[in-house]
Every structure is written in structure tokens, then in C-alpha cells.
Amino acid sequence: MVKYILKKIIYMIVTLWIILTVTFFLMYSMPGDPTQASAKVLPEAVQKNLEAKWGLDKPLGEQYVIYLKNLIHGNMGESYMTPGLTANQAIEERFPASLQLGLQAVAVSLILGLILGILAAFNRGKWIDFVTIFIAILGVSIPSFVFAALLQKYAAGGIFPIIGWVTEGMGLADIFKYTALPTMAAAISGIATYSRFMRSSVLDVLGADYILLAKSKGCSRFQIIWRHVMRNAITPIISIVAPQIAAIVTGSFVIERIFSIPGLGRYYVDSVNGRDYPMILATTLFFSMIFIICMVGMDILYAVVDPRVRKSIIDGN
């Protein structure tokens, strides 16, 4: 087990290094550079000074080595656009909003998606099944920003503010008011996906012989669902949930922008536009790390749910 985790950590570091390297060189091959990204046209002398300050005048290879050295010491550099702001600070400041939005959206989409999927499977061909199909088609085909805009137009204005986010010292009621619409907007595609997957997964399990055996033992419907269906039906879902969690936690920048949420996703896009190299690298690395952690989490969860997977991990296969 320890060997397994160690192996995973080593893989993670190697993966991060590859992502870092690819991003680094891709970033520099983008047209434009930080000194020309701002609206003002800077005099040539200022440009030269800035390049010297940021180390952009050195050869690319040397810049890469310097960056790696700093990174090992935990220093991800300072923003070009906002002088004085380190990348670490930026992430610390910006990530909590993204994380909260992401986790809320994941929780809502998982709970609603799984419940809808189970209901649809148990009522195949009845109205609730069609409602689920309808929601799923809408959720998959309508982009989240359209949904966000619709929510702003029709649901906001009364209790729910059109834009804005939680600030410090807010009560639970206010937190709910500010987060409800963005959470719904971010959750809709997840609800759609999970409900469809869960439905087919539950139907698969319901057709299995062991469900018939459970029934022939005298289990009630609820006992069958809870003890025999859920655990077996959820295994295939885990593999689609993990990457989606990562994506939703890190990547809801469209929603963050529409609802003016001070999140990291929005900041990421801004730094790409501003050619803010240290920030691009820092956020890319951070997002990749979250993604990888989610995948490792998925592996562990698999092992928890499925004894066969657990055995193969313990045996070291």
C-alpha cells in the first residue's frame, strides 16, 4: 500500500514536470510578449528595462533552468501585471472562491444527478424517466454560460443578486443567496451527465443475478437499492466524476466571469491575455496538481468501493 502511494507520488511529480515544460515553451511561442500586452505603448528603453528585470532578455533555455530552480524552492515568481503580487499569494487569494463554487456545484450535481438517475432507472419508461432524459439533453446541449445568463435574466433580481460573491462576515443566508445561481449554472451539465450514467449503471446492476438472489432472500426494495444496487452501480460513475470534479473546481472561469466571482479561473484567463508568464505557469501547475490529486483520489475511492481493485493494489499489480 505504501509502495503504491509512493509510486503514485512519483508519477505525479513526473507528470507535473512534463506539463510544466510543455506549457513553458508553448507560452513563449505565443505571439506578443508581456511588455506589449498592456494598453499603453511603452517607450523602448522602458521595455528593455522591464525585460531585464523579468529576465526575459536571457536565452530561453536559461530562463527555463532559472524557473525550475526557483520552483524547487517554492518560489513561483511575481506577477507582471500586478507588481508585488506573488503567484503564491494570487492562488491563495483567488482559489477559495473557485473551490467553494466548484465543490458546491459538484455536490449539487452529484446529489441531484444520482437521485434522478436512480429514480429514472426504477421507473423506466414512466414520466420521471422522460423528465430525466429532458433535463439531460438540456444540460448537455446548452452551454453553461447560456444557462447562467438565463438564470440572471429570469431567476435573479428578487432574492438572488445578479452578480457578486460571498464576502467575509456573511451569514449563511447571504452565502446561499450569492452562491445559488452560479452553483446551479455550474452544476447543470454535471446533473445531466451523472443522471444518464447512473441510470444505465443502475439498470445494468438491476439485471444482475445477485439482485434476484437478494430479492429471493426476502430483502425489501429499499434494502436491495441500498445494500446491493448502490455500491455496484456507483463504481463506473467514479471514473467519470473525478475528472469532472477537477474540471469544475478549476475551470468554471466563464461562470466566474459572468457572475463576477473573484475566482482563480477568471484570473487564469486574464493572465493569459496579459502574457503574465509567471501567473500562467503557476495556475497551470496548480490546476494540473488538482487534476492529478482528483485522479489519485479516484483510484483510492475505487479501492474502497470494489474489493477486487483493493486486492490488486495491495498485491502491487
Which parts of this chain interact with other proteins (CB under 8 A)? 208-210, 212-220, 223, 227-228, 231-232, 235, 305-308, 311
Nearer to other proteins, 205 or 281 (CB): 205
For residue 213, the minimal CB distance to other proteins (Å) is 5
- What distance in Å separates the CA atoms of residue 105 and residue 184, rounded to the nearest whole number? 7
What's the one-letter identity of residue 22? V
Nearer to other proteins, 1 or 9 (CB): 1
Nearer to other proteins, 44 or 209 (CB): 209
What's the one-letter identity of residue 83? P
Nearer to other proteins, 53 or 231 (CB): 231
**DSSP string covering the chain, please?**
-HHHHHHHHHHHHHHHHHHHHHHHHHHHTSSS-HHHHSSSPPPHHHHHHHHHHHTTTS-HHHHHHHHHHHHHTT---B-SSSTT-BHHHHHHHHHHHHHHHHHHHHHHHHHHHHHHHHHHHHTTTSHHHHHHHHHHHHHHHS-HHHHHHHHHHHT-SSSS-SS----TT--HHHHHHHHHHHHHHHHHHHHHHHHHHHHHHHHHHHTSHHHHHHHHHT--HHHIIIIIIHHHHHHHHHHHHHHHHHHHHH--HHHHHHTT---HHHHHHHHHHTT-HHHHHHHHHHHHHHHHHHHHHHHHHHHHH-HHHHHHHHHT-
Nearer to other proteins, 73 or 308 (CB): 308
For residue 120, the minimal CB distance to other proteins (Å) is 17
For residue 295, the minimal CB distance to other proteins (Å) is 22
For residue 7, the minimal CB distance to other proteins (Å) is 24
For residue 243, the minimal CB distance to other proteins (Å) is 23
Query: Which distant-in-sequence residues (6+ apart) come within 8 Å of 111 by Cβ?
Result: none
For residue 302, the minimal CB distance to other proteins (Å) is 11
Nearer to other proteins, 216 or 317 (CB): 216
Nearer to other proteins, 232 or 250 (CB): 232
For residue 122, the minimal CB distance to other proteins (Å) is 12
